Structure 1
Amino acid sequence: MRLATLRIDESGTTVAVRVDGDAVTRLDGFDDVGAVLRAGALEQVSSLGGRQEALDETKLAPVVVAPQKVVCVGLNYRNHILEMGRELPEHPTLFTKYPESLIGPRDDIQLPPESDAVDWEGELALVVGKTVRRATPEQAAEAIAGYSVLNDVTMRDWQYRTPMWFQGKAWENSTPIGPVFVTPEEIPAGAMMTTRVDDEIVQQTPIDDLVFDSAALISYISTIFTLNPGDVIATGTPGGVGHARTPQRYLTAGQTLSTAIDGIGELVNVAVPERI
């Protein structure tokens, strides 16, 4: 099953929709995919009727508009760890974002005037479907509601100002997520993630090349605090980031950042100077 969140008026009001090919069915009573998950209604909406319309991709909002938590994982793809000159971690490296960071799958990425080193990080986004605390591996696997695509756009000059990464990772209007939420069976075996800057492929890696998989992440993170339906976990980026290149490369105004995962879909976001 494929779900999305649509903006339905100029005020930013949203509604969750079920996506069937090029058409969507409005799921009235649910503001976004997160609301579906919090209500425990994922199975119910698979056959729920409602207003049908053609899918207008320009209206797509973040699949979860305001998650309680956006937990991000660093150094979780083997090839990215090696390109950054680090050893495989014993435990997940965690940091957070806030809902203000999230933008829709066709929204512009805002380039802040304070940063000259805005980098791309294509990622598989895991969406939690059950409330869990100290989840066993089995409970963690059952808490996987589904997946989306995310790009952890990073201001590298701010990330490395201190040993703590957070300040380079949580800028407003920087993190596209979408275009849809899919339940796990929608993703084919051997699915690839591909990130492009304009027409150039800069990252391309199987999404199963993770050091810590989805269930392991839910189990680990829920040991620290409760995870709730609609919480988002960004599972890490593969090799190919601009900061690790020689010479280093970063996003500039006018470039298009595209992030695609087989079975889910593609983010297409133009980088623009932030208006202040």
Structure 2
Amino acid sequence: MKLVRVATCYGEEKSCIWKGEDLFVLRDAQSIVDVLAMSAEERASLETRLSAGPSLKLADVKLLAPIQPTSLKDFMGFEVHFLGALKWMFPDGGGPGGAGTGKLPERLYSHPMFYVCDNSALLGPSDDVIIPPNSSYYDCEVELAAVMARGGRDMTPAQAGEAIGGYTIFLDWSARDVLRHDTLAPTKGKDSGNTLGPCIVTKSEIEKYRVGDRLKVPMKLARNGELIGEGDTEHSIYSIEEMIAYVSRGATIKVGDVIAMGTAPNLCWVEQWGHNGEIRPSPIKGGDTVSMEVAGIGSMSIQVREGSPYVELPPARRYMPSA
């Protein structure tokens, strides 16, 4: 089952089951996470009832982000991506673990690592992405993200897996030159946009891609019709269930939280810059169309626009003697 949020021509927001070109509106104040929490039998019954009634047409609505997450977290889940990114971020061979020398920090393997995304930068599949002022190295990462249908605290991986309701695509937009500069506070390079969409699929749609305790979900990334990279999620350092269990350690996961696995190999720009040793492919520019496809979920094509002029801030004030 595919679930979407849409805006009608009257400005009304609706949550719907998506079948082909038809959208069947959820009734009785049901939300998408309510449907994700249902059993397969309950969802089938709901779909049968709604399909017998009126529908909206996909062409007549605007697709919104399929959920407004209570929290959005993004992991560093894949070695090849992490190494390429660190090579570009620290070309002098410095950085954590001496990344520029081709080594990964050992702490990458001691526990999962994630950052908390900016919910105020949430975008849907119909929204343009605006490049931040003064960024010349703009990038996008394609990721698989789990949507939580149940909450919990101090979960085991098995409990975390049972709490997943479905999956969506997460696009992590990044100003890499800002990230390279702001190593003490890297969030500023990330808060220009977080795209979710085009839908949420129920867990069974992705479980068919399971290989052992990992998910092997194929993905593609293109810019203006030219393939940038393709890969899959099989070789994650930790499983999605282990990642979610880590998030819940000493903390509460809530219904509606979205947890992304991180960027699988070949599915962004900065990783390729690091491995290629040059800025190839060229950074994303205003006027580009960035497209991606994730098996079992769908595809999106996002328009990118140039941002506002850069406004210089006054110099910082020093209150302590220079070191």
State if a TM-score over 0.5 links the two structures.
yes
TM-score by length of 2: 0.76
Radius of gyration: which is bigger? 2
Distance change (3 Å), C-alpha of 1:205 and 1:224: farther
In 1, Cα distance between equivalents of 2:173 and 2:119: 14
In 2, Cα distance between equivalents of 1:81 and 1:21: 37
Instruction: Tell me what 1:225 maps to.
Output: 251
Q: 1:95 aligns with which of 112, 115, 128?
A: 115
Instruction: Tell me what 1:274 maps to.
Output: 307
Distance change (3 Å), C-alpha of 1:213 and 1:251: same
The Cα shift of 1:175 comes to: 1.9
Percentage identity across paired residues of the two chains: 27
What letter is aligned with 1:79? V
Distance change (3 Å), C-alpha of 1:219 and 1:179: same
Task: Describe how 1:1-276 pairs up with structure 2 within 5 A.
Answer: 1-9=1-9, 11=11, 13-30=12-29, 33-34=32-33, 36=35, 40=37, 43-44=42-43, 45-49=46-50, 51-56=54-59, 59-64=62-67, 66-74=68-76, 76-84=77-85, 85=99, 86-87=104-105, 88-160=108-180, 161-171=182-192, 174-187=193-206, 188-189=208-209, 190-240=216-266, 241-244=268-271, 245=273, 246-248=277-279, 249-274=282-307
Aligned length, in residue pairs: 269
Give the secondary-structure state (helix, strand or coil) at the position aligned to 1:204. strand
In 2, Cα distance between equivalents of 1:57 and 1:6: 10
- Structure 1 residues not aligned, in runs of 5+: none
Give the secondary-structure state (helix, strand or coil) at the position aligned to 2:242. helix
What letter is aligned with 1:273? E
The Cα shift of 1:81 comes to: 2.6
In 1, Cα distance between equivalents of 2:169 and 2:243: 17
- Structure 2 residues not aligned, in runs of 5+: 86-98, 210-215, 310-323
TM-score by length of 1: 0.88
CA RMSD of aligned residues (A): 2.3
Instruction: Tell me what 2:319 maps to.
Output: none
Deviations 1:17-73 (A, max 9, x none): 001222110113458634655xx4574544452531222386100010x21100111
C-alpha contact 2:33 2:165 (8 A) present in aligned 1: no
The structure with the greater share of residues assigned to helix is 2
Worse-matched range after superposition: 162-171 or 148-157: 162-171
In 1, Cα distance between equivalents of 2:123 and 2:186: 20
The Cα shift of 1:203 comes to: 2.5
Give the secondary-structure state (helix, strand or coil) at the position aligned to 1:121. strand
Distance change (3 Å), C-alpha of 1:60 and 1:18: same
C-alpha contact 1:95 1:165 (8 A) present in aligned 2: no
C-alpha contact 1:15 1:31 (8 A) present in aligned 2: no
Worse-matched range after superposition: 219-228 or 203-212: 203-212
C-alpha contact 2:84 2:270 (8 A) present in aligned 1: no
The Cα shift of 1:162 comes to: 1.9
